[in-house]
Every structure is written in structure tokens, then in C-alpha cells.
């Protein structure tokens, strides 16, 4: 069955096609005309062609969000925060989750181009390839603002979200030292990601300030997932010279490390304290609940969307800004 056209709706409502189109686009009109047009559209099953409308107006009402993976518990909550703020500003979010390398990133960026997003929030720690950079440069050349989270690599004149990873991990490490720990391990996500390198740097700086030894065999690197925290936790806690505390680069790693301690009949935090990073929803629900670093998701979302909308409205992409955010230490039962 063919889809009804605007001309059929106009004929049914006894108005001009132009009037019908304006009413269905949300414009104000005489009440009796509006009632007839909406009734006709419902009767005929008319669906507005939003892409065609976008082409005519040059506006899509869409903001793009590209994130590394929805399997990371942090990102669904971050997306929800972004979505809620964008909706208040009159925008919808077009989401793409990218976990398969550079080619997938390029496909996601091209999809954002094809759908004419008016601004883009690009939260990726690894995207150092020419194709991605060229697409992002096209966005900016067209006057479509881009905010980079994760790392900018210094190659793009775009606004940035900067998480103070170094300061945050220094904060949690200082807390562990203050509560009596001297033998502290660190389990990281992949060090190809800038955020993980910064978190390791923060750990090293805090240990140096406390004049404590950083034992290289207590520094572990892997994926940022639960299974890696379990494997690396078992590895470091089975040592005869095991640490009394473990700083983890993500909550998933930390939950894996807690599981490792339980499997070795170690009590958390009496035998080994464990800390995470991100304050995902599960952090407070684990047993014991997780001491962690909370990223201010709502504030990141609000300031990022406000900046995108400001750039879109003022049509000025000069003088790129950096939005700085420092996670808060949330003390619970695990440390």
C-alpha cells in the first residue's frame, strides 16, 4: 500500500498543500484548518518525510554522539544524560557505538554526515587515522561544531572535554596511603588509550609523593573489562608479596579484582582494598560496595550540549575551548 502524500492530505482537509505542510511541520495556523489537517493525516496514515524536510530547511534537529561501546556501563548513563539535556534544547541524539576499530569509526562518522547532524560529540580514545580526521575536518569546514572527548591528539581545531584523570587517581591513591596502605598495585585498561596512560601517571605521581615504591610486577595492563580485572587480580594477589590495595582504572576492572580476592578467600577491604573509576550503577550494588571516582556525567552532558548549541546558534567555531572535569572520590565499603 502506497504511503499517503501531502497533496492527498491537503485534498482531504480542503486546504492548500502549502498550508497542510506548514501545519504538519508544527507551524501555527487557524484552529479549524489545523483540526482538519491533523484528522486527514491520521485517517490517511500520512507520515512526514523528515529527511526531505531537512534538505529543504538545512536543519535536522539532530546532534550526533559517538561512543566506544554500550557494553561499558558508564556510556548508557552518559547517553541518557546527553539525551535529556539535548531534548530540553529541542534536539534529538543520533547515537553510534563503535568498538571495532578505525573502519567502524569511519562508518559511524559517515553515517553522521549522511544524516546531517548539526553538531557532533565524538568520545573516542583511539581514532588516529587520516580518514576520520578528514571527515571531522569537513564537519568543521561546513560550520558543524565538533566536541572531542578522550583525546584530540592535537590535530583538530575542535572543542574538547578533558577529564582530569591524573588528579583523580592521585586523589584515590592518597586516600589509600592515608588509610595505612603502602603496598599498592595498579590494574589498567589498554595503555594505547590516553585516559589509561593518564590514570597510571596519576598513580605513579601519588606513590612518588608518598615516597612509596612502585613495583613493576604490581602494574598490570589489559582490557577494561570485568574478566581482565579477575585475571589480573588473581595474578597479583597470588604473589607471596601481594599488595594490600589495588587501584583500578575502571569499575569493571575493580569488580573483577574484588571477585579475584573472594576466590582466594581474601576479605575486602580487610585483606586487600580495591578502588574503581567512573562510579557506574553497579559500583554501589556490589558486595562490598565500591570505593570509586565519580565522573560528573550530568555536568559533562549539560556543558557539552550547551556549547554545541551555542556554536550552532552563533555559527562561530573559532577559539576552541576545553571543558575540564575532575572526578570526585566516593568512599564506600571496598576501601
176-197, pLDDT tens digit by residue? 999 999 999 999 988 888 889 9
What average pLDDT does range 64-86 have in this prediction? 88
Distance CA 42, CA 26 (A): 15
Top pLDDT among 259 and 41 is at 259
Do the Cβ atoms of 73 and 279 come closer than 8 Å? Answer: no
Query: Residues of the chain with pLDDT > 70: what percent?
Result: 92
CATH superfamily placement of domain 165-294 = Response regulator (3.40.50.2300)
Sign of the alpha-carbon dihedral angle for 166, 297, 223, 94: negative
What average pLDDT does range 54-77 have in this prediction? 78
Residue 15, pLDDT score: 87
- In 3D space, the residue among 164, 132, 311, 320 whose CA is nearest the CA of residue 122 turns out to be 132
Cα–chain center distance at 32: 46
Query: Residues of the chain with pLDDT > 90: what percent?
Result: 58
- In 3D space, the residue among 131, 260, 74 whose CA is nearest the CA of residue 185 turns out to be 260
Top pLDDT among 114 and 175 is at 175
Q: Given the C-alpha cell 568498538, which residue does it identify? A: 99
Domain 60-163+297-326 sits in CATH at 3.40.50.2300
- In 3D space, the residue among 317, 306, 246 whose CA is nearest the CA of residue 90 turns out to be 306
> Where are the domains positioned within the chain?
6-48, 60-163+297-326, 165-294
Residue 13, pLDDT score: 86
Distance CA 263, CA 256 (A): 11
Distance CA 277, CA 294 (A): 7
How confident is the model over 113-172, as pLDDT tens digits? 988 899 999 887 766 678 888 999 999 999 999 999 877 666 788 999 999 999 999 999
Grid cell of 172 as nine digits: 584515590
Return the number of other C-beta atoms located less than 10 Å from residue 179's C-beta: 12
What average pLDDT does range 2-24 have in this prediction? 81
Distance CA 141, CA 2 (A): 40
Establish whether domains 60-163+297-326 and 165-294 are of one fold. Answer: yes
3-state secondary structure the chain: CCCCCHHHHHHHHCCCHHHHHHHHCCCCCCHHHHHHHHHHHHHHCCCCCHHHHHHHHCCCCEEEEEECCCCCCHHHHHHHHHHHHHHHCCCEEEEEECCCCHHHHHHHHHHHHHCCCCEEEEEECCCCCHHHHHHHHHHHHCCCCEEEEECCCCCCCCEEEEECHHHHHHHHHHHHHHCCCCCEEEEECCCCCHHHHHHHHHHHHHHHHCCCCCCHHHEEECCCCHHHHHHHHHHHHCCCCCCCEEEECCHHHHHHHHHHHHHCCCCCCCCCEEECCECCHHHHCCCCCCEEEECCHHHHHHHHHHHHHHHHHHCCCCCCCEEEECCEEECCCCC
Amino acid at each position: 500500500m502506497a504511503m499517503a502524500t501531502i497533496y492527498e492530505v491537503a485534498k482531504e482537509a480542503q486546504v492548500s498543500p502549502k498550508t497542510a505542510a506548514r501545519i504538519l511541520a508544527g507551524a501555527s495556523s487557524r484552529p479549524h484548518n489545523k483540526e482538519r489537517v491533523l484528522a486527514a493525516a491520521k485517517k490517511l496514515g500520512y507520515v512526514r518525510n523528515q529527511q526531505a524536510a531537512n534538505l529543504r530547511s538545512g536543519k535536522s534537529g539532530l546532534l550526533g554522539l559517538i561512543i566506544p561501546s554500550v557494553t561499558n556501563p558508564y556510556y548508557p548513563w552518559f547517553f541518557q544524560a546527553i539525551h535529556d539535556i539535548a531534548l530540553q534544547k529541542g534536539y534529538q541524539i543520533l547515537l553510534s557505538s563503535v568498538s571495532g576499530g578505525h573502519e567502524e569509526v569511519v562508518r559511524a562518522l559517515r553515517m553522521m554526515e549522511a544524516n546531517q547532524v548539526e553538531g557532533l560529540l565524538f568520545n573516542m580514545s583511539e581514532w588516529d587515522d587520516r580518514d576520520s580526521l578528514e571527515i571531522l575536518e569537513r564537519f568543521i569546514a561546513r560550520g558543524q561544531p565538533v566536541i572531542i572527548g578522550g583525546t584530540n591528539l592535537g590535530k583538530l581545531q575542535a572543542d574538547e572535554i578533558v577529564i582530569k584523570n591524573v588528579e583523580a587517581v592521585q586523589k584515590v591513591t592518597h586516600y589509600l596511603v592515608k588509610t595505612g596502605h603502602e603496598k599498592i598495585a595498579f590494574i589498567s585498561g589498554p595503555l594505547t588509550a590516553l585516559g589509561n596512560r593518564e590514570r597510571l601517571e596519576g598513580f605513579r605521581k601519588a606513590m612518588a609523593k608518598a615516597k612509596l615504591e612502585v613495583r613493576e610486577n604490581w602494574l598490570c595492563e589489559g582490557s577494561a573489562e570485568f574478566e581482565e580485572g579477575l585475571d589480573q587480580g588473581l595474578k597479583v594477589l597470588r604473589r607471596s608479596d601481594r599488595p594490600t590495595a589495588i587501584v583500578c582504572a575502571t569499575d569493571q576492572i575493580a569488580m573483577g579484582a574484588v571477585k579475584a580476592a573472594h576466590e582466594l578467600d581474601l576479605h575486602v577491604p580487610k585483606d586487600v582494598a580495591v578502588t574503581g573509576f567512573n562510579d557506574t550503577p553497579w559500583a554501589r550494588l556490589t558486595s562490598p560496595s565500591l570505593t570509586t571516582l565519580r565522573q560528573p556525567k550530568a555536568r559533562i552532558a549539560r556543558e557539552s550540549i550547551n556549547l554545541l548549541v551555542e556554536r550552532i546558534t552563533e555559527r562561530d567555531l573559532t577559539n576552541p575551548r576545553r571543558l575540564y572535569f575532575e572526578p570526585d572520590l566516593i568512599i564506600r565499603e571496598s576501601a
